[in-house]
A and B are shown apart, each in its own frame.
Chain A
Amino acid sequence: MARVYNWQIGREMPYWYPEHRPKRQFAAVFDTNKCIACQTCTLACKTTWTSGKGQEYMLWNNVETKPYGFYPLAWDLNLLEKLGAQNWEGERYSGRTIFEAAQPGERVLGWRPEDIDYANPNVGEDDCVNGVEKGAHFSGVHKSWFFYLARICNHCTYPACLASCPRGSIYKRPEDGIVLIDQGRCRGYQECVKGCPYKKTFYNTMTGTSEKCIACFPKIELGMQPQCFVNCIGKIRFAGWISKPENARADNPIDFLVHVKKVALPLFPQFGLEPNVYYIPPVNVPREFLLQMFGPNVDAAIETYQNAPRDKDLSGLLTLFGSTESMVSKWKRVEEQVMGYDEGGREIIRVPLREPTHIRQAFDAARGVARTNIS
């Protein structure tokens, strides 16, 4: 195995192939605090890509309630248990990645879901930790909690699916870092299904090959965000490009959120894949749980996020979420307005920091009627 550098764990690690980063890397930020688990993203993906035979059970995008929701069942718990203790020393992960923990004869540490594990994609929906007793009320601390975790393929920098495939049927596109399974070459060994810790590759029973989220690359190639992003009614998602930390640019929206503000964090960075979907962690969840899920910077990220009302740049950029179907390569705030630009520097969106509001009086004196709040 080669030695590669994974900035998310602050150190080198072994990987099946040498470090070879794409010209640019597709990345995304999801704000978990805004997700309402309406599954519109799930359906947008389903109807676009997985309506075929053998794809019936597949959800390239899914939203699960944490901590009791899973698709497939216990996808994270199974691996966390196999991996053992996962310790951090500051921002350096001192535990083992799934590449370091691979058992003899294996390329990565993984496990194989069975069909029954995919049979209940909404298991645990809205199930609350600690329950809600009669008379319970919010008093500043969330005694009961859950949150929604929307998931797609992370188009990892060091994909375990790609490392697992013994015949090189999985590749990472040099132009955008999107990870794809070559449907002409795959022979359906399901090593990728076993190897991907996020369980975002799926075996198609009817075609005998494995398939996965393609980040809607035909849209990306046209400068547009994927279907699950633009259909999100909660506007929790933002797609773009991420740089290595040392090359981060504050005018790149993803860089700003991930590298500058450090408000968005990778999912299970300790697995070692350098996943490229970043999550703004939920504010209402015990920190121990979030630390395991998003790594050691959770406290700082939440503090930054909660300070957004006083941070015009951060709150400004968050207003660009869900504001346009186009990919926003650069952004800028000028006083109370936030602008998004495409790769050519053309302005594609302009959003006010605060939407203008007008409050109507409850009584319409001109018509002599009371207004009702129904429309």
Chain B
Amino acid sequence: MNVRSLAVVATVVSAAFVGCTKTEPPLSDSEVKAVFEKTLPSTVEDRIWERVPLHPAKLLLQDMVEPRLTQGSTSFVRVQSVTDGQKIAFRLSWSDSTLDDLPGPGRFGDAVALQMPAATTADVPAPQMGEQERPVEITYWSAIFQAVANGRKDDIHAIYPRAKVDHYPFEAASLKPGSAAQQEMAKRYAPARSLENPMAGPRTNPVQDLLAEGPGTIRPAEKSLSNGGGKYSQGGWSVLLVRPLPNGAQPGGRTQVAFAVWEGSHQEVGSRKMRTAWIPLSLGSAK
């Protein structure tokens, strides 16, 4: 990175922290440094982040597989990381002039994801979602999920306040609200929920654990182990993602991590995203 781009990064970084903290974290230009702490931070505002090295990860267009993103949007995601030897926490922040957390036809939410190789080996699978039999683990956060987790009702009126609905069959007077029969009936009219599609909610966790073995292969992980939360303020998102250390990753060791950011107002969804290549990740250990 040359002097000019470093200056740009520094400006981006400082802009992000104006009003949030008085102390700017140190920069880690070449890798993400996961600092060892006995207790992981539980929010993006935790003061611990003031001293955790910050890696400004340059985002690239996903222009490898169709559908591609052909016009760039988010330039950088600022990455900080802390590990307690069992789990690893990431604080990801990026500039975004619009808060997009409403789903709808032609409308998409802001989102971010981190990706790590499922197995910590000397060579990593392809950065574009891994490859066959060499899976990657993806931790995905969405502003739409966050709004629901924050209490937005599971109801069309939460999105269209003036919507007029005549009748839902599963809200018939003959069905006691909340009864097993009523809930069973409601499921019949929400096929994705009947099939327990994790996209379909209802949800309390804004984070999904996913696996992928190449573009187009993303699927839910067997267990949901990650959590986190995001906040929008001052023209940007800050998102905390906490997940277990991947298989084979040890404190004091090294692995790789990659990131992706979706700008909802730019119609970014799925493979239409800004993403990084693999970035080295060093895991701190107790001294």
Interface set of A (CB-CB < 8 Å, partner B):
51-57, 104-107, 112-115, 117-118, 164, 166-168, 183-191, 193, 202-209, 211
Residue numbers in A under 8 Å from B199 (CB-CB): 186-188, 207-209
- A269 and B65 CA atoms in complex are apart in Å by 28
Are A105 and B189 neighbours in the complex by a CB distance under 8 Å? no
Are A183 and B197 neighbours in the complex by a CB distance under 8 Å? yes
Asked whether A53 and B107 contact (CB < 8 A) given A166-B66, A186-B192, A191-B270, the answer is no
- A104 and B67 CA atoms in complex are apart in Å by 9
Are A56 and B163 neighbours in the complex by a CB distance under 8 Å? yes
Determine which of B69, B190, B217 lies in contact with A53 in the assembled complex, contact meaning CB atoms within 8 Å.
Answer: B190
**0/1 interface trace, chain B 178-212, chain A, CB 8 Å (1 if under):** 00000000101111111111011100000000000
Are A208 and B192 neighbours in the complex by a CB distance under 8 Å? yes
Are B192 and A183 neighbours in the complex by a CB distance under 8 Å? yes
Determine which of A166, A189, A205 lies in contact with B215 in the assembled complex, contact meaning CB atoms within 8 Å.
Answer: A166
Are A51 and B168 neighbours in the complex by a CB distance under 8 Å? yes
Task: Assign chain B's interface to a size class.
Answer: 35 or more
Which 9 residue pairs are nearest across A and B when measured between Cβ atoms?
A52-B189, A105-B68, A184-B195, A189-B270, A208-B199, A207-B192, A114-B106, A207-B200, A183-B191
Nearest CB in chain B: distance from A118 CB, A: 6
Are A104 and B270 neighbours in the complex by a CB distance under 8 Å? no
Determine which of A52, A105, A183 lies in contact with B195 in the assembled complex, contact meaning CB atoms within 8 Å.
Answer: A183
Residue numbers in A under 8 Å from B195 (CB-CB): 183-184
Residue numbers in A under 8 Å from B192 (CB-CB): 183-184, 186, 204, 207-209
Are A112 and B189 neighbours in the complex by a CB distance under 8 Å? no
Residue numbers in A under 8 Å from B160 (CB-CB): 115
Nearest CB in chain A: distance from B196 CB, A: 7
Please name the residue on chain B nearest to A53 by beta carbon.
B156
Nearest CB in chain A: distance from B207 CB, A: 15
Are B105 and A206 neighbours in the complex by a CB distance under 8 Å? no
Nearest CB in chain A: distance from B69 CB, A: 7
- A288 and B265 CA atoms in complex are apart in Å by 40
Are B63 and A167 neighbours in the complex by a CB distance under 8 Å? no
- For A55, A190, A203, which residue has the most chain B Cβ atoms within 10 angstroms? A190
| 6 sample A-B contacts, Cβ–Cβ < 8 Å, listed by A number | A183-B191, A183-B197, A184-B197, A186-B199, A203-B106, A207-B192
Within 8 Å of chain A (Cβ to Cβ): is B29?
no
Within 8 Å of chain A (Cβ to Cβ): is B159?
yes
Are A167 and B196 neighbours in the complex by a CB distance under 8 Å? no
Within 8 Å of chain A (Cβ to Cβ): is B104?
yes
Residue numbers in B under 8 Å from A56 (CB-CB): 156, 163, 165
Within 8 Å of chain A (Cβ to Cβ): is B155?
yes
Nearest CB in chain A: distance from B153 CB, A: 10
Residue numbers in B under 8 Å from A118 (CB-CB): 105
**0/1 interface trace, chain B 141-162, chain A, CB 8 Å (1 if under):** 0001000000000111001100
Please name the residue on chain A nearest to B202 by beta carbon.
A206
